[in-house]
Structure 1
Amino acid sequence: MGGTRRGRETGTLGKLMALLDLVALADHPMRFTDILSFSNQPRGTLHRQLSHLVEEGLLEIDRDGRYLPGIRLLSLASRSWERNEFRAVAEPHLSLLHTQTGETVHLGVLRGAEVIYLDKVEGRQSVRMYSQIGNASPAYCTGVGKAALSMLDDIGLEARLAGLKFHAYTEHTHRDVADLLADIAAIRTRGYAFDREEHESGICCVAAPIHSDDGNMLAGVSVTGPAYRVTSEKLQEWAPLVRAAAASIMQDMHSRLGPKR
């Protein structure tokens, strides 16, 4: 998260957005002193910036003086989600994939070195997992993220991974770029990616890449479930279904969102 913010901390808007990211993406509500320690801003400047964000409803302060995402963010997120054409195009294909497998289906788009979840269809037997619409996860340890990364050429992939710090979420998480690149090479060959408890212990998935005709949009679709139920054999069985869903989404994207003549 920090690396993403530092890249755009120039100008007033960039600094405000970095500050908004810091508070909104924190695991717990932050006090002023917490924010000050992470923000690299003078105390007076930071106080003014936070005040502006609170006045605009993008942040709120609770009774204990902690900063929280504001209700206006929920309104903006809801409106964005409703109007997202890519999500609307993908929705029927996600529903079909859910019907075919009975497990949780995700749609995510690559942003930098992270994947942002745009949609999620819960499995018939809901399992608690990190993924929620709007959440960001590292691309290097998620099926959707690795599938999307596999569509980059070598130069683009190197640029996307430059300076990336690998965090060991589980014992199965990739520890360095070499391991990740070997995995991506295999994904390119077979056309789909696996997440075998790399981001969350006990959670596995199979994912396929989605990309726009011009390559400006890289995304992925996946089927996810608990490792005790979703075996390696089951993931292999679902791989053609996930690839078919990705192909159908891309076909509809070309028809509905492609250049108008």
Structure 2
Amino acid sequence: MDSTLLKGLMLLEHLAGSETPRGVSELARALNLTKSNVHRTLQTLVAAGYVRTQTGGTYACTLKLFELASPVVARLDVRQVAEPFMRTLADQTQETIHLSLLDRADVIYLHKIESPQPVRAYSSIGGRAPAYCVASGKALLAYREEALAHLPETLQVHTPRTIATLDLLRRELEQVRIQGFAINRGEWREGVCGLAAIVHDAMGRPVAAIGISGPADRLNPTALRRFSDVVVDAARSLSRALGYNPITISSPTAPRHARGSAPPRAPAAVA
């Protein structure tokens, strides 16, 4: 067990629970540590950005703890809040419904509702797929472009329809932002298509994607166009339930169309 790490975490937790900044002597007494030990640990936390120095030689936590915890909280909240919207979408489309998150260059299926159809798309909760190959991943990548840094210029091809280069992917993501939806045309698994839309939280951050997937013979281009409105509406409704208001959001992570005006349809992509 790393005692240095434990002391650092104890110190951080104590500061986080304190209503006022604390000095070295106070912290040493409260945690039964030496002042030199507390001072060294505080300097490490300051250097890492978790603690800042205050006037009078005291210390307080920065907002980095909030930034660290926010994605975890969002993942937990979005699944619970998403359930009724996913159920409605399942009733409307009769296809498999996914709620997905972005992890580096992959999507992770956080939750799903199976299609009642005898032939349906296979996936599992906790499963992964390359984000550039699936609709939910494209929807997320369109608003999380920093994730493209995890991809090579030449992309691995999984089917004849897979986007093969980063340049082509960037062009498609731009189209996602313009048209309000994106499509997976059998790019991850041959014969499986889908549609997904981006979900924003109360801070305007793209935290998830909600979408449908199914066999290509059912989710043909006509069906995808028909279902795009209901998928986008589900994503919008879920975003509102999470506290998202595009009129008031103006952060850099909010979608371009959300700054000061109501957006057109949220981006959809095939799950």
TM-score range, shorter chain: 0.5 to 0.7
Q: Deviations over 1:133-191 (max 9, x none)?
A: 000111000000000111135xx254354x47622110000111011111111100111
Partner of 1:212: 201
- The range that moved more, 128-137 or 222-231, is 128-137
1:192 to 181, 191, 199: 181
Partner of 1:148: 140
Give the paired residue count: 172
> 1:224 Cα deviation (Å)?
1.0
> 1:128 Cα deviation (Å)?
5.3
In structure 2, list runs of 5 or more residues that go unmatched: 1-71, 245-271
Larger Rg, first or second structure (1 or 2): 2
Aligned pairs (5 A) from 1:123-138:
123-127=115-119, 129-138=121-130
TM-score, normalised via structure 2 length: 0.59
1:109 to 101, 105, 127: 101
The 8 Å contact of residues 104 and 122 in structure 1, kept in 2 or not, is answered as: yes
Change (3 A) 1:236 1:123: same
Change (3 A) 1:167 1:126: farther
In structure 1, list runs of 5 or more residues that go unmatched: 1-79, 256-261
> 1:214 Cα deviation (Å)?
3.2
Distance 1:135 1:165 in 2: 24
Change (3 A) 1:109 1:164: farther
The 8 Å contact of residues 120 and 215 in structure 2, kept in 1 or not, is answered as: no
RMSD between superposed Cα atoms in Å: 2.3
Distance 2:198 2:235 in 1: 7
Partner of 2:28: none
Distance 1:130 1:180 in 2: 25
The 8 Å contact of residues 151 and 218 in structure 1, kept in 2 or not, is answered as: no
Distance 1:247 1:218 in 2: 13
Query: Identity of paired residues, percent?
Result: 36
Distance 1:142 1:203 in 2: 10
Q: Deviations over 1:102-139 (max 9, x none)?
A: 11111101111111101111111143544210001110
Partner of 2:79: 87
Partner of 2:169: 180
Distance 1:116 1:211 in 2: 17
1:243 to 212, 232, 235: 232
Aligned pairs (5 A) from 1:49-60:
none
Distance 1:84 1:140 in 2: 24
Q: Which has the higher contact order (CA 8 A, sep 6+)?
A: 2
Distance 1:109 1:218 in 2: 7
Q: Is the counterpart of residue 170 in structure 1 residue 159 in structure 2? A: yes
Deviant stretches of 4+, over 6 Å: none
TM-score, normalised via structure 1 length: 0.61
